[in-house]
Structure 1
Amino acid sequence: MAGGPLSLQTCRDMALGYNKTLASKRVQREMAAQMRKSARTKYLPSLDVMGGAIFSSREISILNNTQKSTLKNIGTSLGGLLGISDPKLQGTLNHLGQDVVDGFRTNNRAMYMASAMVTQPIYMGGAITAANNIADINEKMAAVNEELARQNTLQNIDQTYWTVVSLRHKLNLANSFLQLVQKLDDDVQKMITAGVATKADGLKVSVKVNEAEMAVTQVEDGLSLAKMLLCQTCGMPVESDITLADEAASAIAIEEDSVNGADTVAYWYRPELELLSNTVDISRQATKLARASYLPQVLLSGGYLMTNPNVYDGFTRKFAGVWNVGVVVRIPVWHWMDGTYKVRAAKAATTIAELELAETQEKVDLQVSQCSFKLKEARKKYAMATKNVDKAEENLRCANVGFKEGVLQTTDVMEAQTAWMQAQSQKIDSEVEIKIAQVNLKKAIGQM
């Protein structure tokens, strides 16, 4: 803004940098990129580490109570059975029996476990590949959504920009018209003073002056509102006093059309069509994903399990573990045709997406044709408006000459002025109509 009038490109750049919807689409694209990276990891082995502690009110016993009692009293029992009355021998045997009972204790009221497990998918029925393809397509769709938001932003800013420019030219025209009727009013007042015009003539011109002043006020208000909208779209305070580069031009510059083969261009570049095509691709991958649910799945696993008590050394209170490796195979046998139904539903979704794509292609073709027609129509209006301006200027010149020579009345001059005003206004309308039609055609073919 400090550099002077704002060009269309400057307004575009400011709008692209400020637009919240576009910023949101950028974040969504980054999110899709992260999801695509996440999907890639499913091909790689995964490592899980787990640990835990369990405290129980009772410990697991390998011996039952009768066996424990028998072993604890084995010396006494054998002494009675064999008629041995040596207390020392019996005590020794009882002690040995107690050692056996103690040796069978699991001591697992407090158990500690730790494990590390590595899992490598070998074959998942194509589910991982389909999920990665879906992630790739989602990333493409996020980029296309960002492009769509960019084009919508540019279309909006271009339309607002040219609306402001047209209103500025309308304001210049309204001021010029006001000057014309004010001069006529001054001339008529002099003629009334000289006695060659009536007060009725003066009143007619005064009414015209009031109408011209009101028209200036209305255009000024419209211009202020349009500039507020432009400032808001560009991210500036709405009260900003801005000037556009094309406001100072005597007329709105009309460029030649540079669009050829619009239908073909729209087919390749229109974001909406690309999004629907991506939707079709995703639905096809979803079919593969559904089919994978009833295909065999093979995983390779390996790990290390460590426990305390040590179950490999008589439940001693220390950590010890064991390595393990294995293959897990899952083969769905019968699920009441659940997978078949899911595949059929996914194929139906693909058909729907293909029909929507075909319908949208037809609508895009129609929209391109309509935009092309409107551009051609706007150029015809511009050509006729240019001719009308020339005629209106000549008519006004003749009316002013006839009024000065006294052969035409005040009403004739006012009619000529009004016709000139309408012709100039129609020319401005046709100029901005061409600009907006060009913008809409570029948007329709996806080349904003």
Structure 2
Amino acid sequence: MNKFFGLLILAGAVLPSIAQEKLSLDSCRALALLNNKQLSISKLKQDVAHNARKAAHTKYLPHVNALGSYMHMNKEISILDDEQKESLSNFGSNVGSAFTSDLTPVITQMAQSGIITPQQAQSLGQGLQKAGTSLSNALNQAGQKIRDDFRTDTRNIYTASVMFTQPIYMGGKIIAVNRLAEYTEQFTFNDTEAKQQAIIYDIDNAYWTVVSLSHKQKLSQSYLQLVKKLDSDVNKMIKEGVATRSDGLKVDVKLNEAEMMQTQVDDGLELSKMYLCQLCGLPMDEKIKLVDEEKNDLNVVEASYDANTQVAMDARPELKMLKNAVDMSKEVTKIIRADFLPQLALTGGYTMTNPNLYNGFERKFSGFWSIGVMLTVPVWNWGEGVYKVRAARGATNIADMELSDAREKVELQVNQNSFKVKEANKRYTMASKNTERADENLRCATLGFKEGVIQSSTVLEAQTAWLQAQSQKIDAGIEVKLTQVGLKKALGILQ
């Protein structure tokens, strides 16, 4: 990762001077890592996973929520029913009527018995009537007051509360969620690393392809000059009568082939540079020059790497991602199982209402605090939890088998790339020896042709052999570098 940031710094230094200076392999890598969209997406996914892990950690802590509400109702809450309200409103009338109806027969009986005179009875009846009316009015007013006092006036209700919830036992769900978030963050990190290695691998292949074609361009130009020189010499010899027209035609054919090869190499080099620019995030028509293009020798180092498969098992980001997938699947199983286990939480808070429910529906805010424990115990779900846990465990087994299969393939890949490195080293050694022989063969053929003891066809064969040997050496040198890159990628140490 430190080298990655170093490459980004290098890219920042290279960007202003791309057109003036030559690009090295490291600068091409830095540009590709800086401008690759998929890599940028992976980094954003890392940020998302990092924040998700922090969010999961908050599940351990108490959560506090505030709530406020207002409600208007067209009817108010009534403590008294309609019959009780009617009785209270007519309480005095009912009592006055009973009082009058009970005393009137007594006064009448007293008048009939002669205890009081009819005039006195009439006077008492009138007084009783007035007293009953006054009593009724007074009691009616008292009953109405009682009825009014029992009104709640709850058509407009205001509530406000602050509540907290502290999980105590959630069936292991919170722990599993946090571990799942950690494995997800590791997965995104390994995914970014895998994409970085893939980008570097593509850049290295494109870079050395351009270098290879650039060297072959110089080789084709040299070959073309050799054939042109031979063509000129043969034409002079034809004029002198020491060579035939057939010799000249053979050389002309080779000259046309050399020119065609030159055109093909030029076009291939142009397309390869366009592809390299595309990988680096540069305009495809950018005129770039590479450091290794100008070197006469590829500086091939026949390095060997220990094909230690354990290094690959520990370093390959793809295997790390699969291991993360297995761990994530296990945590998902725990989360599913937790939904079907008892869950315990501590709750509490403070609530205010208007009207005041605890003081006769007084039109003021007043509240109360509360604390409690909430327990949820699943009782019966027709085996839903068992089936879901089995399905989740099946997914875990699949991920584990994929990891095992990938490890076997990585082991095979490491061994294959190790053999390729050894073969490339041998091929380069042989190609270097063949080049020396081809150089000597061409030198002898050219000298013999000048002395007139060797025919032009022999020189053509020597030139063709020289071209082939030089081309094979370039291919072998590039193959050594690419196989080394391939082995590093197989081992997971490509940086």
Category of TM-score, reference length = shorter chain: over 0.9
Verify the 8 A CA contact 2:304 2:421 in the aligned structure 1. no
Alignment-derived partner of residue 38 in structure 1? 55
Structure with bigger gyration radius: 2
Q: Which amino acid aligns with 1:13?
A: A
Alignment-derived partner of residue 144 in structure 1? 190
Cα shift at 1:128 = 0.2
Taking the TM superposition and a 5 Å limit, the aligned residue runs for 1:416-435 are 416-435=462-481
Verify the 8 A CA contact 2:305 2:418 in the aligned structure 1. no
Taking the TM superposition and a 5 Å limit, the aligned residue runs for 1:408-447 are 408-447=454-493
Once residues 439 and 91 of structure 1 are traced to their aligned partners in structure 2, the CA distance between those partners, rounded to angstroms, is: 110
Q: Which amino acid aligns with 2:51?
A: Q
Q: Which runs of 5 or more structure 2 residues have no equivalent in the other structure?
A: 1-17, 101-127
Taking the TM superposition and a 5 Å limit, the aligned residue runs for 1:26-425 are 26-83=43-100, 85=129, 86=131, 87-425=133-471
1:14 and 2:31 are equivalent in the alignment? yes
Q: Which runs of 5 or more structure 1 residues have no equivalent in the other structure?
A: none
Once residues 367 and 138 of structure 2 are traced to their aligned partners in structure 1, the CA distance between those partners, rounded to angstroms, is: 36
Q: Which amino acid aligns with 2:36?
A: N
Q: Which amino acid aligns with 1:104?
A: F
Once residues 355 and 213 of structure 1 are traced to their aligned partners in structure 2, the CA distance between those partners, rounded to angstroms, is: 56
Once residues 262 and 181 of structure 1 are traced to their aligned partners in structure 2, the CA distance between those partners, rounded to angstroms, is: 50
Find the partner of 1:4 among 17, 21, 34.
21
Once residues 307 and 444 of structure 2 are traced to their aligned partners in structure 1, the CA distance between those partners, rounded to angstroms, is: 48
Q: Which amino acid aligns with 1:11?
A: C
Q: Which amino acid aligns with 1:55?
A: H
Cα shift at 1:2 = 5.7
Q: Which amino acid aligns with 1:5?
A: K
Q: Residue 111 of structure 1: SS of its match in structure 2?
A: strand
Cα shift at 1:273 = 0.6
Alignment-derived partner of residue 106 in structure 2? none
Q: Which amino acid aligns with 1:215?
A: M
Cα shift at 1:447 = 0.4
Cα shift at 1:347 = 1.6
Higher mean C-alpha displacement, 330-339 vs 118-127:
330-339
Once residues 333 and 178 of structure 1 are traced to their aligned partners in structure 2, the CA distance between those partners, rounded to angstroms, is: 89
Q: Compute the TM-score of the two structures, normalised by the length of structure 2.
A: 0.88
Go from structure 1 to structure 2 and tell me whether the alpha carbon gap of 1:395 and 1:221 turns closer, same or farther (over 3 Å shift): same
Q: Residue 301 of structure 1: SS of its match in structure 2?
A: strand
Higher mean C-alpha displacement, 256-265 vs 217-226:
256-265
Q: Residue 472 of structure 2: SS of its match in structure 1?
A: helix
Cα shift at 1:248 = 1.4
Q: Which amino acid aligns with 1:7?
A: S
Cα shift at 1:89 = 2.5
Once residues 145 and 259 of structure 2 are traced to their aligned partners in structure 1, the CA distance between those partners, rounded to angstroms, is: 118
* Aligned-CA RMSD value: 1.3
Q: Residue 26 of structure 1: SS of its match in structure 2?
A: helix
Q: Residue 322 of structure 1: SS of its match in structure 2?
A: strand
Once residues 148 and 249 of structure 2 are traced to their aligned partners in structure 1, the CA distance between those partners, rounded to angstroms, is: 127
Once residues 136 and 438 of structure 1 are traced to their aligned partners in structure 2, the CA distance between those partners, rounded to angstroms, is: 34
Cα shift at 1:316 = 2.2
Instruction: Give the fraction of aligned pairs with identical amino acids, expressed as a percent.
Output: 52
Cα shift at 1:389 = 1.2
Verify the 8 A CA contact 2:316 2:491 in the aligned structure 1. yes
Cα shift at 1:212 = 0.7
Q: Which amino acid aligns with 2:35?
A: Y
Higher mean C-alpha displacement, 248-257 vs 347-356:
248-257
Describe the superposition over 1:202-230 as per-residue Cα deviations: whole angstroms up to 9, x where unpaired: 22212211111111111111111111111
Once residues 217 and 71 of structure 1 are traced to their aligned partners in structure 2, the CA distance between those partners, rounded to angstroms, is: 115
Cα shift at 1:258 = 4.7
Cα shift at 1:78 = 0.3
Higher mean C-alpha displacement, 84-93 vs 142-151:
84-93
Cα shift at 1:310 = 1.5
Cα shift at 1:133 = 0.4
Q: Residue 121 of structure 1: SS of its match in structure 2?
A: strand
Cα shift at 1:392 = 1.4
Once residues 95 and 443 of structure 1 are traced to their aligned partners in structure 2, the CA distance between those partners, rounded to angstroms, is: 99
Cα shift at 1:237 = 1.7
Runs of 4+ in 1 over 6 A off after TM superposition: none
Q: Compute the TM-score of the two structures, normalised by the length of structure 1.
A: 0.97
Cα shift at 1:103 = 1.5
Cα shift at 1:261 = 4.1
Once residues 15 and 356 of structure 1 are traced to their aligned partners in structure 2, the CA distance between those partners, rounded to angstroms, is: 31
Alignment-derived partner of residue 109 in structure 2? none
Higher mean C-alpha displacement, 285-294 vs 416-425:
285-294
Once residues 288 and 236 of structure 1 are traced to their aligned partners in structure 2, the CA distance between those partners, rounded to angstroms, is: 48
Higher mean C-alpha displacement, 327-336 vs 286-295:
286-295
Once residues 339 and 125 of structure 1 are traced to their aligned partners in structure 2, the CA distance between those partners, rounded to angstroms, is: 13
Q: Which amino acid aligns with 1:74?
A: F
Q: Which amino acid aligns with 2:468?
A: Q
